[in-house]
Amino acid sequence: MNPKQKDIMYTLNKYADINPSEIQEHFALNLSTYDTHEVYKGPIIRNSHKILRTIHEPTPESEDLESLELYDLDDSKNLFKRYLTAFGKNITTRYGRAVHFYKFVKSLVDVNREHYNGNKTTEINEKSDVVEHPTDYYY
């Protein structure tokens, strides 16, 4: 097939009725409301009129967002307080608390992304706020 003979086809996916910016804000997930495919034009192949190839990672075939266990980042302060209580952590300095909080938020983002991608084994644990490298809390 001639690579010059291809077009792009967009198909709506199961997130077409969701506002991606709200999901990004609340759960730090980058959703696309469509999937992109390359459609090759060329000679008709037996039993096939079009050949599709996905350009970017397609929408995961997981459950709907409502059924996933995702942490709302707007509630991260309350989740952090509950986390400190649950694991018996006592952070006394304002700076230390801020650094641990940001690393905890990054852990929430990581858990949300893993759950969205189908890995339900990733959870918040006693090391979710531990900073081993100065850039550990960036996402």
Q: Where are the beta strands (DSSP E) in the chain?
A: 6-12, 34-40, 51-54
What is the arithmetic mean of pLDDT over 103-110? 91
Residue 50 forms part of a structural domain: yes
**Structural domain containing residue 45:** 6-59
What pLDDT does 83 receive?
Answer: 92
pLDDT tens for each residue of 37-89: 776 655 544 444 444 444 444 455 556 777 778 898 999 999 999 999 999 99
Same domain membership, residue 120 and residue 84: yes
Model confidence at 26: pLDDT above 70: yes
Same domain membership, residue 130 and residue 78: yes
Model confidence at 94: pLDDT above 70: yes
Same domain membership, residue 50 and residue 75: no
Same domain membership, residue 76 and residue 27: no
The one-letter amino acid code at 17 reads D
